């Protein structure tokens, strides 16, 4: 299957993703595709809804698209603990042409299943903590632009409308 990056506005990005029931070939292939699309687009994280699949699956590699040393595939990930506060600049492969500062927890504890079906639980801070919160938000239909001020959001929506109009004219 040829999957492609889905960009805002699109319904699949605003919906609650379904839990993965069993880690079969379909899910493994989806994870492969997601990692590929993430690296191709120079991202450090991707959630299944971003490739049009409403499933609770994310790929993350904070070592970046060149190194590709820390690929993490998480099935049904959930944040079980949060601590502190951090504000950092975020962007999203599904939100074209916009980056801004978002407030999040500074440390998180995450529970998930790996691609072999083994339960994993770990703590993360800094960039990984931010990335995990951003990607897990996608599974709940939340984009980083849903976490910014109304004014900033209006500004982005206006900019996007103009941009899409110019593109289609």
* Residue 98 or 155 with smaller CB distance to Ni ion: 98
* Residue 75 or 138 with smaller CB distance to Ni ion: 138
* Residue 23 or 43 with smaller CB distance to Ni ion: 43
Instruction: Give the integer Cα–Cα distance in Å for 43 and 39.
Output: 6
Q: How far is the CB of 137 from Ni ion (least distance, A)?
A: 8
* CB distance 114 to 120 below 8 Å: yes
Q: How far is the CB of 134 from Ni ion (least distance, A)?
A: 5
Residue 144: alpha-carbon gap to chain centroid: 9
Residue 71: alpha-carbon gap to chain centroid: 14
Q: How far is the CB of 119 from Ni ion (least distance, A)?
A: 25
- The residues that bridge with 122 in the sheet, in sequence order, are 110
83 in active site? no
The residue number with the shortest CB distance to Ni ion is: 92
């Amino acid at each position: 299957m040829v999957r492609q990056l889905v960009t805002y506005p699109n319904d699949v990005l605003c919906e609650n993703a379904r839990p993965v029931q069993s880690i079969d070939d379909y899910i493994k292939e989806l994870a492969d595709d997601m990692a590929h699309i993430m690296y191709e687009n120079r991202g450090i994280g991707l959630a299944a809804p971003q490739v049009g699949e409403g499933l609770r699956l994310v790929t993350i590699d904070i070592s970046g698209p060149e190194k590709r040393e820390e690929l993490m595939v998480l099935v049904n990930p959930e944040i079980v603990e949060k601590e502190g506060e951090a504000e950092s600049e975020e962007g999203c492969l599904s939100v074209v042409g916009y980056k801004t500062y978002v407030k999040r927890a500074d440390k998180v504890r995450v529970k998930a299943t790996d691609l072999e079906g083994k339960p994993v639980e770990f703590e993360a801070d800094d960039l990984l903590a931010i990335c995990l919160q951003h990607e897990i938000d996608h599974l709940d239909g939340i984009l980083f632009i849903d976490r910014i001020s109304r004014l900033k959001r209006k500004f982005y929506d206006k900019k996007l409308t103009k941009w899409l109009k110019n593109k289609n004219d």
